[in-house]
Amino acid sequence: MSDESVIEAAVARLRASGGDEDAEPHPRAGELVLPDGRTAPECIRAWAAFDNFYSLNGGRSTLPIADREGVLVVQPINRVLRQVCLEPIEDEIDEETTEYLKDLIEGLSADLEGYGAVLANEYPDPILWIPAAGEVSILWYEHDALDQRVSFLDMLAGL
């Protein structure tokens, strides 16, 4: 099944159930790009044609998909991991724990090259991951680990 058909089916289910009242399509959905200028993944462009906010936990994330110019609102994954692993507790931890978390971020980043974004301020932290090559996924960070991974399309297919 193609990205577009999975998303079309999810959109049809949302419309049938009345779950599309807040949907705001991005006006440049088909032209979306990553911060480095490469074309955004097809699944994200297809979803943005329906809504400029990611679907999350049966609702909408607080993060828009792209800015007005059509650039995805994402950062290098190491920066995203720093946001969820270290920054929320940085003022409360000692130097040893800080070093441990920096090493953890470095290790996780090595396995997760690409871009990402924190989709919502909730726990466990939902992270959008756009790999350099491969399937766009949602990861959940909890207790120094990425415990759960769901492909972006599988999440939409479950709506």
Which tens digits make up the pLDDT trace of 130-143? 998 889 999 999 98
Res 20 pLDDT > 80: no
C-alpha–C-alpha distance, residues 44 and 34, integer Å: 11
Res 55 pLDDT > 70: yes
Highest-confidence segment of 14-28, 51-65, 97-111: 97-111
Q: Taking all residues of the chain, what is their mean pLDDT, rounded to a whole number? A: 92
Whole-model pTM: value is: 0.90
pLDDT at 99: 96
C-alpha–C-alpha distance, residues 63 and 121, integer Å: 10
pLDDT at 19: 75
Res 1 pLDDT > 80: no
68, 77, 56: which is closest to 119 by C-alpha? 56
Between CA 3 and CA 49, with CA 71 as vertex, the angle to 5 degrees is 40
Res 4 pLDDT > 90: no
Q: What is the full DSSP assignment across 36-100?
A: TSPBPPHHHHHHHTT-SEEEETTEEEEEESB-TTSBBS-EEHHHHHHHHHTTTTGGGS-HHHHHH
Res 89 pLDDT > 80: yes
**Residue position matching structure tokens 């007005």:** 68
pLDDT at 63: 92
35: tokens are 């911060």
pLDDT tens digits along 29-47:
999 999 999 999 999 999 9
pLDDT, average across residues 72-82: 97
